[in-house]
């Protein structure tokens, strides 16, 4: 069997498959299906400084080849996560990534400080959430904003820091460079694209928040393109996500430049999706006599101009 181990920002993963934030909760429900050690890591549900109830319903809508969500970062808060969820997670034999979101720079810094004293393996800085009315996305759509928030959090974060980037920007390569300049040890992309649906009978938006984040297979080609562009601009590892549903998608994203992968929306229709993707990736590597999954990263051969 091929070597599936990867290293992201100094953290060793048994394999490149990570459950994406917001789709896996804190892992308790999914451990009824398979040991969480099957996964390389878990990016936990996004946490904020204080408990947040999230947006009022309706906040989920199915779309062709995907879904819209405006859950609004419902979560119990960082202190509850550290005290109640993290001890259990650390017993599951997988890398634990804390995904943090905030309304202000101070919120992010305070959470980074708290998590630095905890046993999390890595912090994912979510500056790209399009389904809350305040915070997050305001930091993630300009190079100056990305570099400033990353630099500020870097001063407080003693754990490896990964910055999650928004696709709702003009030049993802420059945004990626800004995160790296601010001190990011890795970047992850893409977060959801901003979308909207309207009920033609009521003439009202389907989501109570009017707009939400589009995810699922529909966004996969956009994600591949942006991972490819970002990977050419930075030296830090790139974690690719956005519509990965099959092992073929996983291989494609690795070839585009990803060093590891996050699986999200696919979990809602098939909780075993990461297991199936891992099995398929393993077979692909063996059948093509590839010794290590790291050999795929960035191995695309683009056509010349």
Active site residues: 129
**How many CB atoms are closer than 10 A to CB 254?**
25
Sign of dihedral through CA atoms 7, 12, 16, 17?
negative
Contact 231, 298 (CB under 8 A): yes
- The vertex-103 CA angle with 98 and 105, nearest 5°, equals 80
Tell me if residue 259 falls in helix, strand or coil: coil
145's enclosing H/E stretch is helix 143-154
CA-to-CA distance for 4 and 281, rounded, in angstroms? 9
Backbone angles phi, psi at 267, to 5 degrees: -65, -25
């Amino acid at each position: 069997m091929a070597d599936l181990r990867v290293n992201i920002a100094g953290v060793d993963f048994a394999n490149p498959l990570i459950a994406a934030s917001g789709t896996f909760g804190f892992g308790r429900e999914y451990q009824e299906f398979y040991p969480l050690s099957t996964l390389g890591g878990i990016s936990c549900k996004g946490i904020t400084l204080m408990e947040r109830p999230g947006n009022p319903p309706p906040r989920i809508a199915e779309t062709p080849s995907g879904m819209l969500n405006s859950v609004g970062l419902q979560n119990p808060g960082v202190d509850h996560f550290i005290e109640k969820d993290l001890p259990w997670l650390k017993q599951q034999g997988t890398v634990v990534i804390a995904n943090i979101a905030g309304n202000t720079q101070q919120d992010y810094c305070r959470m980074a400080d708290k998590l630095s004293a905890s046993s999390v393996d890595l912090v994912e800085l979510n500056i790209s959430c399009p389904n809350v009315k305040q915070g997050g996305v305001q930091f993630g759509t300009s190079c100056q904003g990305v570099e400033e928030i990353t630099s500020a959090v870097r001063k407080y974060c003693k754990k490896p820091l990964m910055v999650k980037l928004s696709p709702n920007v003009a030049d993802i390569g420059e945004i990626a460079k800004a995160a790296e300049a601010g001190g990011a040890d890795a970047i992850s992309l893409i977060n959801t694209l901003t979308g909207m649906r309207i009920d033609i009978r009521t003439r009202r938006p389907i989501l109570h928040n009017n707009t939400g984040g589009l995810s699922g297979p529909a966004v996969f080609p956009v994600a591949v393109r942006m991972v490819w562009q970002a990977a050419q601009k930075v030296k830090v590892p790139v974690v690719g996500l956005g519509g990965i549903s099959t092992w073929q998608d996983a291989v494609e994203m690795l070839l585009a430049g990803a060093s590891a992968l996050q699986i999200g929306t696919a979990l809602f229709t098939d909780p075993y999706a990461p297991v199936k993707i891992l099995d398929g990736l393993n077979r692909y590597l063996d059948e093509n006599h590839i010794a290590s999954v790291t050999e795929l990263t960035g191995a695309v051969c683009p056509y010349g101009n």
